[in-house]
Structure formats: structure tokens, C-alpha cells
Amino acid sequence: MGATFLNPEIDLESLRGNHCKINGQTATDDRDVTSDDPCLKCRCNDGRLTCSKKACPVLQCSADRQHQPPGECCPKCTGTRSLYTYPKTCTLGSRFHRDGERFDMERCTKCSCINETSVCHRDSCPILNCAHEFQQKRPGNCCKECVFPEEFRMQCSYGGVDGQSWKLDACSSCKCAQGMPSCAMTRCNVTLPCPPGSRLVHPPGECCGRCEESEGVCMAFGDPHYKTFDGKIYSFQGVGRYQFVADCEHHNFSIRVANVYQNKNSKTSTLTKRVAIKSGKMRINLGQNLRTKINGQKVDLPYKIEQKLQIEKFKDHLVIDLLNGVRILWTGKSFLELTVPASYKNKLCGLCGNFNNNVQDDLKLRKGPVVKESDILMFGASWCVGSKAVCAKYAKQTSKIRPCKAKRVDKNPCKYLTSTDLFNGCDSKLNYNKYYKACMMDMCECPSGRCYCESLMAYARECNHLGVDVPNWKKHSYCVANKSRRKAAQRTGLSKEKIDLLMKQRGINRTRSAQAPLPIQ
């Protein structure tokens, strides 16, 4: 049985952000706090520290047979005893009491014999702000109080001065009170589950992790395929200019993509060829081979405008950081990734969806209802920002995947996605099925033989966002930029047997057959 107090003797103050403080230790909201007293448990709720103190049971043994185990709250009985029972009586300690009799075990414990059972009530005592060994009961008092030796009253053994508090580490701290240190420790909930759309983070200098809303990530890759902020993957091969994403509430930024045919002769597959970014008064245009223009002028990279824009160039991609926390990754071919902070939730629109943690409404028309994936052409056309006539010329019906040519099936480099070792076990967190289907679609009409790499890159990037590091996927799947290695990969990858041999030589365990049924996402 416990008693709950808001104890004025504890150094308690409400802090911003629903924090509590006890003995110099800051406790975040909804956290448990422990102190020197093993009977005392505290918890921070809405900026107020609520403490409960365990009330110990009345023992059936005499006082000389009770002992206090170190670190435990309540005393226990020692030895053995023989219990004699008499009708209509209660036995407590070494005394018998008649049924209905009221009696005192001690000054603070009042008991009654009811139906041959001793029922006792003990006065609740206040929570003390001192170490357990300095809690004493004065003669005539029910409750203990803090009693410090005179020589310790003006100094702390930890080197503090009276009233001073200090941290031992991120989770514990002490305060010097009346010459003695009193310490408290925050206890974290290690199994804290974060709701969908959020993740557990550990800020530097803080004891416990906390749930924060996750960033939103949208991708365009391959023929092209899109992964929305809320996780929906679909294919839309419309030709023309489309609104990839825009801030539809405050109009802080927008991103448009220009999709063209990969092969003008066959007109059966498309890709994202150019990207246009609008941020404030700036216009940033990204083209093939990492060519970059700002307000119509070609610029050399890296490029930076203080507190407005930063563009970094890497070996095979660009990273553009805007003032509002928006980050764009562009490979200079057709892979585009956009990352936005959680503050943009429910404020975005376009091919990337609305970022509201609901995958069911990602295919919402610009002016109209949510449509099914079978109406993907209608959805894509509604976000056309160029010539409506051009946008109407779509490349193919995306709901049906055409059978691949035999030579493409023989190569089948898409099966790299099924390698647990290559992607470091990411399949336990992210189903590869839709990435595999996108990869197979791209390889059907692949002009270069390496169209599978963008599906692998999309899967690898998403694994990284989920906390799974996959550093060597390009090397082991032959998606590197080196021409000699690419030619060697093409020579040795003409058959399933040779691809399997290469995977085995590089220590990649092909745990699933590419022809085996894939798990449903």
C-alpha cells in the first residue's frame, strides 16, 4: 500500500517543456525518478513531481525478531514460529485479542480484531529529503525525521556547499541540504514505443531518449516510380512537367520534375530528366550530369549563399540544403530524393502526397477526391504544371507490368534485392517486394543494362533512413561508376548461374530465389 504526496520539502520546480527537478536532477515529463530512500518513488507528470511512499505491512513477529535488509524498504521477520489459533480471537505478535477488540500495536498503528483477522491502520509519514541512514524517529513521534550529525551540517561529503546542486552524469545529480548530499536518479523507460510517424532519439546531454516526429522522405527513381512521404510506392510514366511537391499552405517552396521518353523511337519508358526548385526568390535548375543553374545562370559547385542555400557536389550526386530545412538529393540522371522536416506535416501536396501519416489518401487529385491506383494516370495528370496536351501523352499504362524479354530475365540483376547480406538484413524492417517489381519493370526496356541500380539505390536509401547501414551495395551489385568494372559486370552477369557465382565469391548469401514467391507488402 502506498501514499502519494506533492512534498514541499523536496526541491521541486516546474521547468519549461514539462520538466521536474528533484535534488538538482532534471526529469523529463512522464519519467520515473529514484532517490536515496528505497521506499520512495517519484514520477514527473505535466511538470509536477508526484511521489509515492510505500507503507510497510504490520509484521506478525515481535520487534526483536524484525530486521531491515539492506536496500529494501520494509523490515522482515527472522527465524521460525509456531502459530496457535483459538476461535474468535486474533493473534498478532505474541498477543491474543478477542473478536471485535481494538488495540494499539504502537503509538502510530491502531488495529482491530475483525472475524479472527487483525486489521491495522498506520499513519502515513511525509517524504524525507535525506539519506535513509539519517532518518530517525524521535521519542513520542510516529514518523521519522532527518537528523544530521552536527559536524556534517555545513559541508557535504561530495564537496558541495549548502544549497548547491551538481550532476554526477546525465541521469543522476545531488543537492547539498543541511550539510548532507541527497541524490536522485532518472529512470528511463527502455521499452518506450514510439507511435507511427515518429522515432526514438537520444539528444546529447539528456538521460533518456524521447519520441520525435520523423522527417518525411519522398523519392522518384527509375521509369519513374515514386515513394510518397507516407510510404506508398506507385509508378507513373507520364511525359511532361509535374508538381513533385509544394508547400500548399505557406508556399515557401516547390519542386517540379520534367519527365521525358528514354528512347524517342520506342516511347515505351520514361525518366526524370530535369528538376526545378523554387525557394523564395531563387530558382534552382538541376539537369543531367549534375549541371546546375541558379536564376538562369550556370554556377560552379560547391555553391553557398549564407543562411539561404548550400549545394554540395559529391562523386555521383548533389545535395541541396534550403533555409527551411528541406534537403534534395539528385544523381544527375533520374534519381531524386526529397527530405523535409516534420513541421511540414499536412502542408504538402503533389506527386509525393500530403505527409499526414496516412498512406490511404496519398493519391488525392489536385482538385478532387482520392483515387485508386488503377486511376494513376488521372492522378498524375491532375498535377501537370506544363502543357496539358503534352501531359496527356503518357508512356504506358502503369497498372500492368509487361512480360520481360528473355535476355533480360536471364540477367535478372534485380535479385540483388533479395540478398540479406548485401542489404545487411534490412528486409526485416523494409519489404523489398515493390522495389523488386519496380526493378523488373525498368529492366524490361532498359537501354543501358544498369537500370536496376536506381531501384537498389531507392531501397538502400530507405534502409539508411530506418537506421540500417548498407555501405557496400553499389560495389557488390556493380552499380559503381567505373567503366571497366561495369563492363566486367555485364560480361559476367549474362546468366543466373554466373551472377550466383559472383555473389558467392563476394560472400553474399542469396537467401531467396528470384523465382520464389515474394512476400506481400
Residue 190: per-residue pLDDT: 55
Residue 294: per-residue pLDDT: 94
Residue 335: per-residue pLDDT: 95
Residue 360: per-residue pLDDT: 93
Q: Dihedrals φ, ψ of 55, to 5°?
A: -95, 125
Q: Is the pLDDT of residue 123 over 70?
A: yes
Contacts of 403 (CB under 8 A, 6+ apart): 444
Residue 84: per-residue pLDDT: 67
Residue 4: per-residue pLDDT: 36
Q: Dihedrals φ, ψ of 457, to 5°?
A: -65, -40
With cut-offs at 50, 70 and 90, classify the pLDDT of residue 413: confident
Cα(242)–Cα(382) distance, integer angstroms = 9
With cut-offs at 50, 70 and 90, classify the pLDDT of residue 363: very high
Q: Is the pLDDT of residue 260 over 60?
A: yes
More confident residue, 187 or 57: 57
Greatest mean pLDDT range, 140-144, 207-211, 270-274, 503-507: 270-274
3-state helix, strand, coil in the chain (%, to 5): 20, 30, 50
With cut-offs at 50, 70 and 90, classify the pLDDT of residue 25: low
Alpha helices in 129-288 (DSSP H): none
CB 338 within 8 Å of CB 327:
yes
Q: Is the pLDDT of residue 381 over 80?
A: yes
Q: Residue 413: which of 444, 382, 372, 385 has the closest Cα?
A: 444
pLDDT over 90 for what percent of the chain?
28
Residue 463, H or E segment: helix 452-465
Q: Which of 139-148, 253-262, 337-346 has the lowest mean pLDDT?
A: 139-148
Residue 309: per-residue pLDDT: 92
With cut-offs at 50, 70 and 90, classify the pLDDT of residue 78: confident
CB 207 within 8 Å of CB 171:
yes
Residue 498: per-residue pLDDT: 47
Could you identify the residue written with the cell 521477520? Answer: 77
Residue 497: per-residue pLDDT: 43
Using DSSP, state whether 444 is helix, strand or coil: helix
265-320 pLDDT per residue, tens: 666 778 899 999 999 889 999 999 999 999 999 999 999 998 889 999 998 899 99
Q: Is the pLDDT of residue 400 over 50?
A: no
81-113 pLDDT per residue, tens: 666 667 888 887 778 888 889 888 777 888 899
Residue 447: per-residue pLDDT: 60
Residue 8: per-residue pLDDT: 33
Cα(426)–Cα(474) distance, integer angstroms = 15
More confident residue, 52 or 494: 52
Q: What Å distances lie between residue 72 and 2, 127, 135, 285, 360, CA to CA? A: 15, 16, 15, 68, 53
Domains of the chain in start order, with CATH, are 148-185 (no CATH), 216-399 (3.40.1000.10), 412-477 (no CATH)
In 350-496, where do the E strands start and end? none
Could you identify the residue written with the cell 520481360? Answer: 404
Q: 373's torsion region: left (phi>0), alpha (psi -120 to 50) or beta?
A: alpha
More confident residue, 475 or 502: 475
Whether the predicted model's global pTM rises above the 0.75 cut = no
Average pLDDT of the chain to the nearest whole number: 76
Residue 219: per-residue pLDDT: 97
Residue 73: per-residue pLDDT: 82
